[in-house]
Structure formats: structure tokens, C-alpha cells
Amino acid sequence: MIDLPSPNHDARPGLVDMLVLHYTGMRTGQEAIDRLRDPIARVSSHYVVEEDGRVFRLVPEERRAWHAGVSSWQGQSSLNDLSVGIEIVNPGHEWGYRAFPPAQMASVVSLSRDIVARHKIPADRVVAHSDIAPARKQDPGELFDWRGLSEAGIGLWPKVSTSDTPPDPALAGRAQALLTAFGYECPRSGALDETTQVVLRAFQRRFRPGRIDGLPDPTCIILLENLVSLAGRAPG
């Protein structure tokens, strides 16, 4: 752990009970670290994990870092108040999205495991930036190994086997209910509107990365039902 203090933080109004994972989305890790420490940029995260596995601490966990922006999960907003943020170095979709190397993943696992244990963060509150801000964000993206993270005891991964199923717009209402029950901010119109497709895309990017089409299908429903049940949430 290497300390590289950022000035971009303030008082945290409550306790930590959420972990938000990001990618940096800049050409190099150094460029991202410089920005996260720049007082003009007014953004930060608690940690940055480099591709070679080095972990940098920018903001103490007891302070509020500025990483989530406008966001929502399980009916809560202002998620910087209650979350720890980890920035994982990757150029992202804009600059050449690529696989997260094993050394980096190993560091993300051990860092996350420690954070989740110390703050007793529930599995359904380990989220992607794209989960809590689906209209603005894609990070850490479909190449991130959420399944591996879950196998290491951090966050949720569906425990059902599924096959590929064709889209069915008639499942929009059911998908909306389940997405909402799990934590996403989603319309409840019963129709496959544009916002629902955006939220479905965020869900698929994380839990069904093989097909990210923003359309509901029976497999998405099965995965969502399983996740809602694993999280112990009321089923829509």
C-alpha cells in the first residue's frame, strides 16, 4: 500500500456500507492518479489499483471521497456518503478497453475483501459504477471478473445455469420490477422505454456480459430472480 494523498475529500456524514468499483478510463494509470489528486478536478477515490497490482491510498476511508457523482442504489442517493471507492486502472471504452491482468485482479480481491470485512458490507451493496449511474457510466465494464470476485467472497454472482434465450419485449414489466427490487433505479412503466433499456444494459454488462443488448429475455429474468433471492430482497 502506497500513500499518495489527494486533497479531494470532506467529512463523511455516516457509516460505510457500500463498495463501488470503477475503472479509471484514462490513457495511463499515472494520468488518472494525477487527476484524482488535482484540487481543480474535484474528483477522487479512496484507492487506485494499478495494472501491476500496486495499490495506492489517496483518501482515508473515514473521509468522503468524490467518486460516484449523481447515483442511486436501493432507493438511496448521494452514495459517496456511504461508500468506499476503488479505481481500477484500465483505459476504458474510450481509450482501448482491455482485460484486467491477474496481478491487478488479485490486488482488487484482497483490498475488497478487507474493506467488506471491516465495514460488514452486504454482498448486494458491492456494485459497479455503472450499476448506480447506468445512463452515464460503463465502468468497470464487461471484462471485469465479477464472478471471480464473488468466488472470493465479495459481491453477488448468480447461482443458476442459463442458456441463451431470444429477447421478449413482453417481459419488460417483470424485468423492471426485478431490477428495482435488486437495487437499480428503473422506471416501472411496464413498457420497454429507453431508460429501461439503459438499465438492462448495465445489468447485462455486469451479470450477463456475453450479450449486452438492453432487451429483456427469459435468461435475464432467471438471473434477476436468483440475484434478488440471494440478496434477500423482496421479489418485485
Residues that bind Zn ion (CB under 5 A): 22, 129, 139
Pair 172, 140: CB distance under 8 Å: no
State which residue, 48 or 105, has the beta carbon closest to Zn ion. 48
Q: Tell the smallest beta-carbon distance from residue 45 to Zn ion (Å).
A: 8
CB 91 within 8 A of CB 25: yes
* Distance separating alpha carbons of residues 54 and 102, to the nearest angstrom: 12
Contact 88, 128 (CB under 8 A): no
Of 209, 207, 202, 215, the C-alpha closest to 170 is: 215
- Least distance CB 127 / Zn ion (angstroms): 11
Please report where in the chains the cell 482515508 appears, as a residue: 60
User: For residue 74, which amino acid is it?
Assistant: Q
Instruction: Fill in the DSSP letter of residue 110.
Output: H
- Minimum separation from the CB atom of position 191 to Zn ion (A): 29
Query: Judged by CB, which is closer to Zn ion: 88, or 175?
Result: 88
Q: How far is the CB of 68 from Zn ion (least distance, A)?
A: 8
Q: Which is nearer to Zn ion, 23 or 182 (CB)?
A: 23
> 218-230 and 194-207 helices cross at what angle (nearest 10)?
70
**In the structure grid, which three cell numbers stand for residue 17, read together?**
456500507
Residues 6+ away with beta carbon under 8 Å from 75: none
Q: Sort 234 into a burial class: Cβ within 10 Å, 0-12 / 13-18 / 19+.
A: exposed
The nearest distance, CB 36 to Zn ion, in angstroms, is 11
Residue (49 or 220) nearer to Zn ion, CB: 49
User: Is the CB of 129 or the CB of 206 nearer to Zn ion?
Assistant: 129
Active site residues: 87
